[in-house]
Structure 1
Amino acid sequence: MKVVRQVEPKIYYQAEAFHIAADVLHESELMKYRGAPFIVNASFALELYLKCFDGKTVFKKPSVYCEGVVQYERVIGNVSQQGHNLQNLFGGLPCEYKEKIVSKFDALEMGLSAESFFETNSKHFVSWRYGFEGNNGSYVASEVLAMLSVLQSVGQEYL
């Protein structure tokens, strides 16, 4: 039996974990004036959500467990797009996913397009990890949280 998935679940669930971490950090009173951990976790979650739409499940080293049952030494998630640039990752998605993301984000009436969001926030994972070096950019937490929810919702539709 061949398993066909439209979203790579290992990548999706890891994205969801970083999304949860970003939500917790955003709500924490102790983190109120410490944005770097929030935006780094949120940006990595955004990256992983985008990668899960183009990911594949790879089954390594099959062997017969018993008659009619195959086991695998490793099952991994593999992505075709590399890097942390959100704009590039979004641009490389199949049209079906891009259209769904754009439609859901536009419906929120955030005042910017999905394309603009990814352009503005494209390099935050890299720049905010070492924000003390002064190369971090600004972000709007409500926009980031909205896009996280959109990507999570689109991913759930395809799991």
Structure 2
Amino acid sequence: MPSLPLPSWEVIEEGRSYLQAASLIVKHGDVGQWRPACVLAGFSMELFLKSFLAKDDSKPLNIKFPNGLTMYQGGVKSERGHELDDLFNRIPIDYKKLILDASKEISPDFELEQKLQKFAGYFFDGRYGYEKTAIGVLDMKVLEVAKHLEQVCIQVAPKAIQLS
């Protein structure tokens, strides 16, 4: 099986696209679209964290090559779950340290773990504002936290390859 360096750049890029969509909504939408923007920002953070939990999910192609080469197709899979603080706690300790160190380097006073707790359920619990278990008033600062976590992933990726 191929090895997959962590964090998975493919998963990070997916998270970045959701964060960009959230930013576009805030920039060009109105207050009525802020809930979807917060949900997308929460989902982007989920993906950023899952990039550190990704695993190779490719399958070998059933093609015989003369030199014994094996080609694979498929993708990446990751841990299930939506709660940001829970996902963060599942990340291996060496990667967690890289994440926290990068966060402090980017913004020394930024309390990443506290922010992940605060916005833990924004993707799952923010989606249906009419349900009794929904987050009532969403905090638009979730976008700032998502952008911070994006920058952390970009900074950590080259360093993390050494751990893989």
Matches within 5 A, 1:65-144: 65-68=64-67, 69-72=69-72, 74-79=73-78, 81-109=79-107, 111-133=109-131, 135-136=134-135, 137-139=137-139, 140=141, 141-144=143-146
Matches within 5 A, 1:8-19: 8-19=8-19
Q: Partner residue of 2:155?
A: 153
Residues 49-93 of structure 1 deviation map (CA, whole Å, 9 limit, x = unaligned): 111111112221432353233233x312111x2110000000111
5+ residue gaps, structure 2 = none
Residues 13-33 of structure 1 deviation map (CA, whole Å, 9 limit, x = unaligned): 2222212212222322x2355
The higher relative CO (CA closer than 8 Å, separation ≥ 6) is in 2
- Return the offset for 1:156: 5.7
Distance in 2 between residues matched to 1:67 and 1:148, nearest whole Å: 43
More strand by share: 1
Matches within 5 A, 1:20-31: 20-28=20-28, 30-31=29-30
TM-score calculated relative to the size of structure 1: 0.80
From the superposition, tell whether residues 155 and 22 of structure 1 become closer, same or farther in structure 2 (CA, over 3 Å). farther
**Contact in 1 for aligned 2:19/2:146 (Cα 8 Å):** no
Give the fraction of aligned pairs with identical amino acids, expressed as a percent: 21
Residues 75-129 of structure 1 deviation map (CA, whole Å, 9 limit, x = unaligned): 12111x2110000000111122212222222344475511101110101101111
Aligned residues: 156
From the superposition, tell whether residues 158 and 138 of structure 1 become closer, same or farther in structure 2 (CA, over 3 Å). same
**Contact in 1 for aligned 2:56/2:77 (Cα 8 Å):** yes
Distance in 1 between residues matched to 2:146 and 2:7, nearest whole Å: 21
**AA in 1 matched with 2:97:** E
- Return the offset for 1:4: 4.6
**Bigger shift: residues 120-129 or 58-67:** 58-67
Distance in 1 between residues matched to 2:15 and 2:146, nearest whole Å: 14
From the superposition, tell whether residues 156 and 12 of structure 1 become closer, same or farther in structure 2 (CA, over 3 Å). farther
Q: Partner residue of 1:39?
A: 38
**Contact in 2 for aligned 1:101/1:114 (Cα 8 Å):** no
